[in-house]
Amino acid sequence: MDHFLYRNGALHAEDVAIAEIAAEVGTPFYCYSTATLERHYRLFEEALAGLDCLICYAVKANSNLAVLRTLARLGSGADVVSEGEFRRALAAGIPGERVIFSGVGKTRRELEFALQNNVRQVNVESEPELDLLNEVALALGVVAPFSMRVNPDVDAKTHEKISTGKAENKFGIAYEDAPRLFRKAAQMKGIRVVGVDMHIGSQLTDLEPYEQAYTLMRDLIERLEADGIPIPRIDLGGGLGVPYTRDNQPPPLPFDYGAMVRRVFAGMEDREFEIEPGRLIAANAGILVSEVVYVKENAGRRFLILDAAMNDLVRPALYDAWHDIDPVNEAPANAPTQPYDVVGPICESGDTFAKQRVMPNVSQGDLVVFRSAGAYGAVMASEYNTRPPAPEVIVSKDRFAIARPRLTYDDILGKDRIPDWLEDAEDASASTHTA
């Protein structure tokens, strides 16, 4: 459920008309709903109520400081995959004690930053990373809180580009190697073993792969503890899928997920649990609003050319993702529909949001929205084609604020530097001698 609903035929974000925001900030723009973010956070709280569970929002889904601060206010922790994201979490008011550091390629400098900022735990993904973490901790005179991301080799049954828990994926430590590396870690002076972690993929629409993975995790914890290595924390990862369209079977609810977690970990309720949801919190809390630049007919196909492009929202180009597309002015119930190819202006055929999408008639100048664009949308934006990425707006009840302004062309051009040998182009031919 979200808070982007029609009122008297006009799409609103909570109590603010989308057309009103468009008139003020221009298009395209992202729009986030505070109420939806809060609702989704609470769904996890309720689903896991009774367990000692810290929700560590996966910052990479949407790292805007306004979004992070909204969640920080509710008590959220953070799951970060870079120093930059760690800095965002801190800037939003999430202390290091609530930050989990994940990722396969953490550098020495990133590990130092994490330890200097009291990271809650480092989810280590390889033996060389374990060695480096120990070394960095000893050099800093601290003991690093260590959790191991274990790759359970289960099929998450999601898109191959967002599947992370198969042996062939680059993520985590092989299940068979885990006991040996836990024993090694337990001996290291710079390491304190705090937990075990699994994150098997994103946009999971089935609970079964989770159940398989968590059962393996439970078995591993029992073996480790029998070996004298206590595992006080269980990190469940993220990945729960969201409904990207009204027409399909909805993915499992957090409530059902919570029930499964309790079942699998029955008898282990004395542990601390952690969960790292990203998409489920942010996706349906955001839309991308765009204006129709042209409607063009070519060889019998009708193209809807928008002012948003793959540089704003790359998911369709990257993962063939589906986003529902709706007009901001609601079409009457029996309005005629027709198929459109919905595209952006970028010089790539991949800059296509949808092919032969059946929609009510729309015309030049109309506003349309992509739903479920709050996660892996703005964070993946680029300036490709020297297009300023869509700015971000956040709504709370009847208020809205710009959470990230649109870059100006001066902002964009001002980032480049012309080397000194290209300055003074007029007398370039006279000064080509090198030392």
Tell me the closest approach of the beta carbon of residue 123 to ligand PLP, in angstroms: 7
Structure tokens at 304: 């809807």
Does 315 bind ligand PLP (CB under 6 A)? Our answer is no
Name every residue whose Cβ is closer than 8 Å to that of residue 182 and which is 6 or more positions away in sequence. Answer: 148, 193, 224, 227, 229
Does 88 bind ligand PLP (CB under 6 A)? Our answer is no
Interface residue with ligand PLP, options 21, 58, 111, 130 (CB under 6 A):
58
Cβ 261 vs Cβ 48: under 8 Å: yes
Tell me the closest approach of the beta carbon of residue 213 to ligand PLP, in angstroms: 13
Does 374 bind ligand PLP (CB under 6 A)? Our answer is no
Tell me the closest approach of the beta carbon of residue 79 to ligand PLP, in angstroms: 5
Interface residue with ligand PLP, options 85, 276, 324, 392 (CB under 6 A):
276
Length of the chain: 435
Tell me the closest approach of the beta carbon of residue 91 to ligand PLP, in angstroms: 20
Interface residue with ligand PLP, options 27, 33, 62, 102 (CB under 6 A):
102
Tell me the closest approach of the beta carbon of residue 273 to ligand PLP, in angstroms: 14
Interface segment toward ligand PLP; rule CB under 6 A; list 222-230, 248-256, 275-283, 398-406: 275-283
Nearest to ligand PLP of 198, 309 (CB atom):
198
Tell me the closest approach of the beta carbon of residue 93 to ligand PLP, in angstroms: 20
Interface residue with ligand PLP, options 251, 277, 344, 377 (CB under 6 A):
277
- Cis preceding linkage at 232, omega within 30: no
Nearest to ligand PLP of 12, 98 (CB atom):
98
Tell me the closest approach of the beta carbon of residue 424 to ligand PLP, in angstroms: 48
How many CA atoms within 13 Å lie on the side-chain side of 307?
A: 19
State how far the Cα of 210 lies from the Cα of 137, in Å rounded to an integer. 33
Contacts with ligand PLP, 219-248, as mask; x by CB under 6 A: ------------------xxx---------
- Helices 108-116 + 127-140 axis angle, to 10: 50
Nearest to ligand PLP of 243, 278 (CB atom):
278
The secondary element (H helix, E strand) that includes residue 43 is helix 34-47
Name every residue whose Cβ is closer than 8 Å to that of residue 407 and which is 6 or more positions away in sequence. Answer: 383, 388, 389
Bridge partner residues of 329 (DSSP): 10
Residue, CB closest to ligand PLP: 278
State how far the Cα of 205 lies from the Cα of 411, in Å rounded to an integer. 41
Does 61 bind ligand PLP (CB under 6 A)? Our answer is yes
Does 98 bind ligand PLP (CB under 6 A)? Our answer is no
Does 126 bind ligand PLP (CB under 6 A)? Our answer is no
Does 119 bind ligand PLP (CB under 6 A)? Our answer is no
Structure tokens at 353: 């949001």
Amino acid letter, residue 66: A
Interface residue with ligand PLP, options 278, 327, 344, 374 (CB under 6 A):
278
Cβ 195 vs Cβ 235: under 8 Å: yes
State how far the Cα of 217 lies from the Cα of 8, in Å rounded to an integer. 51
Does 60 bind ligand PLP (CB under 6 A)? Our answer is yes
Does 77 bind ligand PLP (CB under 6 A)? Our answer is no
Applying the rule CB under 6 A, the residues between 400 and 429 that interact with ligand PLP are none
Q: 358 exposed, middle or buried (CB, 10 Å; 0-12, 13-18, 19+)?
A: exposed
Question: Is 276 in a helix, a strand, or coil?
Answer: coil
Nearest to ligand PLP of 44, 353 (CB atom):
44
Contacts with ligand PLP, 170-199, as mask; x by CB under 6 A: -----------------------------x
User: Is 347 a catalytic site residue?
Assistant: yes
In the chain, % helix, strand, coil (3-state, to 5) comes to: 35, 25, 40
Structure tokens at 421: 């040998």
| Residue from 127, 81, 20, 435 nearest 238 by CA | 81
Tell me the closest approach of the beta carbon of residue 240 to ligand PLP, in angstroms: 6
State how far the Cα of 133 lies from the Cα of 144, in Å rounded to an integer. 7
Question: Is 212 in a helix, a strand, or coil?
Answer: helix
Nearest to ligand PLP of 216, 292 (CB atom):
216
Structure tokens at 378: 């703005």
Structure tokens at 424: 């003074």
Active-site option among 31, 53, 56, 347: 347
Tell me the closest approach of the beta carbon of residue 253 to ligand PLP, in angstroms: 14
Q: Which residues are near ligand PLP by CB under 6 A?
A: 58, 60-61, 79, 81, 102, 199, 202, 237-239, 276-280, 375
Catalytic residue annotation: 347
